[in-house]
Structure 1
Amino acid sequence: MTDASEGLDGLTGDEQLAQVWRDGLILNPALPAPVLARLLTGGKLTATAAFWLAHCSLDRDKTAALVASPHSDHRRLVTENPYADVDVLARLARDPEPRVRVAHAASVGDGGRRISEGVLEILAADSEPRVRRAAARLPLPVPVRARLAEDEDASVRAAALTEELWPQLSSAVREALLADPEPQVRDAVAKLLPSNPEPLPEPHLRVQDPDPRVRSRAALDPDVPTALALRLAEDPDDRVRLDLSMREDLTAEQRSSIAYVVPGGYATTPRWIMERGHEPDVARRAAASGHVLLRRGIAGRRHLPADVVDRLAQDEDFFVKLTLCESCQDAPHELVLEMYTHWHGLRWSFLRVHPNFARPGLARFVDHPNPRLRRAALDDPEAGPELVMRLIDDPDAEVARWALRDPRLPTEELHRRLGVPASARDAAANPTLAPETMHRLLDLAGVANPSGTH
């Protein structure tokens, strides 16, 4: 059986190579947990490595490697990762470092993640007030929350109070909270008590209100009759006229008669599109509108009917097409490629992960003068190692970097590049690198191996 690290015999772990190997390996998407554990013994991570570990896919074993790291920064970092195993993360509820426990409490349940059994009770009973305060924002059982309402720390007491909890507290506890010596607790209590707010004024008074914020809300309110709302068509405030122009109940003629001003950058999508944009009739109506913000708003839906996608893909407005490519999974390949090629916004490179980006035929761009298209050539699923070899020394550093990380790079060339300082970092990030080879690199780099095995 051939040793996967064969071909590395000539490598020596000088200081420069040792550092770039470590930097590259930690970014390797195929990095196994034992190698990650070795890398974590090195202490502080680079900003790039920290960002990667906070966002990359983590299985149970990799989560465990980070949770068991001797460095608290690593343990705190893993709490940010939305893919980390929640049952393994639960071990951090008893971490010896308060700041790790605080970070863990602040991330529990984020994004709708399942909460591991028993972790809420542990966090709510923590010796550190900051942890208990963070726990108070979590869906605690009523008895646990009630205990926090009597906590020795005022900030915890204030955070624990909710409308649901208040009527379930004993009268003695409620009286104590009403008379609490700390203003922040009394303020929290005051927010729970009935305030008998004044009802909104009649619609015609809201439309005439001197505060443009009130008029703006009236312009958007579907309960304000259309004819009354249209009195705001010549309002002196740009925001009021813009909000009025995006009402769902206006005819095309009524909408076009409003002298609204389209603001630069991204604008808020109207509520009716956010709530009902998945309905084909609503989507078609918005896509056919003469109001560019309605078209941009519907282009932001994750999925749209094919005829709506076709219409928006040919829109005269650049940002309608860009929004379609950024947000809609059904955006056509040709348009996604066009936006990727020519758009200069900060997120242009993320268009490569669009499900309709990679297609057979992209290899035709391997010699294109535009480096973005040469990089796109690597996304041709039918291209072979020859294309990758043509791009590993590309004059554009980004193109060369992605070619070096391409799994189609021949093993012999991959091993050779590990010994070249300029390419070693990206070669070490190549997912076809065998675990034995990764360990061999760390041996040469002088990185400790706590397990003692490969």
Structure 2
Amino acid sequence: MVHLEQPQLSGLGRNPAAPTGVLVRLAAHDAGRHGLLMRKGQLPDAVAEALLTHGGSDSAAQLHGRRVSPAMRSRIAGHPDPAIRDARADLVRTLVECGSGLGIESLVEAYGRPPAELAADPDPRVRAAIAQDWHDRPAAVQSALLADPDPEVRAAATRAEHPGVPPELRERCLADPAVRSHLARRLPLTPAQFERLLAAGDKSVLRALAGNPCLTADMVARLQDSEDPSVRVAVAYSQHVPPEIRDRLLSLVEAEDATGSIDAKVALHWSSYRPDWLRDVPLAERLTYLDCPHAVFRRTLAESTDLPDEAWQRLDEDPDVSVRYAAALRSDVPTETLLRLVRAHGDPSAFRPLLVEHPNFPRRELRGLVDEPDPRVRLLALEDPELPVAELHQLGDCEESILRSGVARHPNVGADLLERLLADPEPKVADHAAANPVLPRASMDRIIAQAGL
């Protein structure tokens, strides 16, 4: 995260090429500490010491584990100031009290006891934190957590799929209002269990039931008349629903979405329901979904690896860009398909790997994207680590700050352009420029001096 008031200092704190002396001086400023604590890797002891001196307990709470050397961990553990000595443990305990956690290692470190002891702690908030963060707990511990008198502990013990609920405890847990929505989402259910959950009249349970991949056709049919848009969408995605019912259910939700229903919009666009079962059916059945009017089915089909060429051609020309993107991730996608998709839409992925990182993408074409009208496409030119300085200047003059930020991070950016980006009015651009390891030492010293450090 960028420090909005002093982005050069926060960026310099993250700069992997900044020498220890610069980092020590940065620790005297709030923005510098902000960047230092976001820095990757282990901090030099001198820098950690400076953070303790200037940042006190706020900094000490972040100096733990592999962030600091064993010697510095010992130094903090024996620090004469209890606020510094106990800062990390106090932070973890505060988060536990708020119902959050930082992982099992932090819990053990903060409370100074092994996980099995913490699972029996008198404080239910501690037991709930263990149930949430101790993923490989033994079966005996899980059984005790499932029988805990506090409903928050029982809920935390069943929120994740693993370690799960032993068969002999499922009936009892399905009757427990604290956990039944978690189990309704994934357990194979008998008809009697399904009917009891349905009769509970709980919206969260109903939505969980609708997404359960283990439901039988009869169970799915019992959910078809629900007024809840989320249930309708989940049922429409079931393998047990014929096309005409699927179309009807999705049309109802789409009509509600068009009238401004937030529940309908969430159900259609942001829910976790997916027709994942389609990946596992025989090829002949999968191919029948090439003509499905609902993009989510065609997108799931495009995640196959064994489709015939004519099916891939259809998917590569699909009217929905998300379907074309899914199809473009296959190992043997043609080069021209990747390039056409990138030029038309940029890279739809918010995560790595990008389309331009696909082995079949012609990396030599990246530079040609600099002149594209769409800024999403121009941005991908920066994936070329050897993009010439002239092109970087061109992108650095763009109105869109995301492009200037990309230039500020680029390894081939020249010193003069980097200097200009350091003064950019958008804090994120200046922060990235200061964090670039090609930043000259003279620029680092000037940033430090201008801050009076």
TM-score w.r.t. structure 1 length?
0.57
Q: d(CA) in 2 for partners of 1:216 and 1:404? A: 46
Name 1:101's counterpart in structure 2.
89
1:355 maps to which of 354, 357, 360: 357
1:244 maps to which of 235, 240, 245: 235
Q: d(CA) in 1 for partners of 2:16 and 2:301? A: 32
Name 1:226's counterpart in structure 2.
217
Superposition deviation, residue 191 in structure 1: 11
Q: d(CA) in 1 for partners of 2:214 and 2:286? A: 24
Change (3 A) 1:322 1:204: same
**SS of 2:407 mapped into structure 1:** helix
Name 2:111's counterpart in structure 1.
124
Superposition deviation, residue 219 in structure 1: 5.4
Unmatched segments (≥5 aa) in structure 1: 1-17, 110-114, 127-139, 170-176, 179-183, 449-454
Instruction: Give the AA of the match of 1:387.
Output: E
Bigger drift between 398-407 and 306-315 goes to 306-315
Q: d(CA) in 1 for partners of 2:378 and 2:312? A: 28
**SS of 2:367 mapped into structure 1:** helix
1:52-451 counterparts in 2 under 5 A? Answer: 54=38, 58-61=40-43, 65=47, 69-70=51-52, 71=55, 72-77=57-62, 85=66, 88=69, 91=73, 94=77, 96=84, 98-103=86-91, 106-109=101-104, 115=105, 122-125=109-112, 140-142=114-116, 144-145=117-118, 149=121, 156=126, 164-165=140-141, 196=172, 202=192, 205=195, 209=199, 211=201, 213=203, 224-226=215-217, 229-230=220-221, 232-250=223-241, 252=243, 255-256=246-247, 261-262=253-254, 263-264=264-265, 266-270=269-273, 273=276, 277=279, 284=286, 288=290, 290=292, 292=294, 294-295=296-297, 298=300, 312-320=315-323, 332-340=338-346, 355-356=357-358, 359-381=363-385, 383-411=387-415, 413=416, 417=420, 427-434=433-440, 436-437=441-442, 439-442=444-447, 444-445=449-450, 448=453
Superposition deviation, residue 38 in structure 1: 2.9
Residue by residue, what CA displacement relative to the aligned partner does 1:210-267 show, whole Å, maximum 9, x if unpaired?
9485666665556654256436545555444433222224455664565653543524
CA contact (8 A) 2:275 2:297 kept: no
Instruction: Give the AA of the match of 2:290.
Output: A
Superposition deviation, residue 410 in structure 1: 3.4
CA contact (8 A) 2:422 2:434 kept: no
CA contact (8 A) 1:154 1:185 kept: yes
CA contact (8 A) 2:207 2:231 kept: yes
CA contact (8 A) 2:51 2:60 kept: yes
Name 2:163's counterpart in structure 1.
none
TM-score w.r.t. structure 2 length?
0.57
**SS of 1:366 mapped into structure 2:** helix
Unmatched segments (≥5 aa) in structure 2: 78-82, 94-100, 132-136, 158-167, 176-188, 255-263
State how many pairs are aligned. Answer: 376
> Which structure has the greater CA radius of gyration?
1
Residue by residue, what CA displacement relative to the aligned partner does 1:363-416 show, whole Å, maximum 9, x if unpaired?
3343444444444433345532232234444455543443344332334x3586
Name 1:5's counterpart in structure 2.
none
**SS of 1:288 mapped into structure 2:** helix
Tell whether 2:9 aligns with 1:22: yes
Instruction: Give the AA of the match of 1:145.
Output: L
Pairwise CA RMSD of aligned residues?
5.7
**SS of 1:60 mapped into structure 2:** coil
**SS of 1:96 mapped into structure 2:** helix
Q: Percent identity?
A: 21
Q: d(CA) in 2 for partners of 1:281 and 1:414? A: 54
Residue by residue, what CA displacement relative to the aligned partner does 1:81-119 show, whole Å, maximum 9, x if unpaired?
xxx83674993983726453344573245xxxxx5xxx7
CA contact (8 A) 2:128 2:156 kept: no
Instruction: Give the AA of the match of 2:446.
Output: L
Q: d(CA) in 1 for partners of 2:410 and 2:249? A: 54
Structure with more contact order per residue of length (Cα contacts < 8 Å, sep ≥ 6): 1
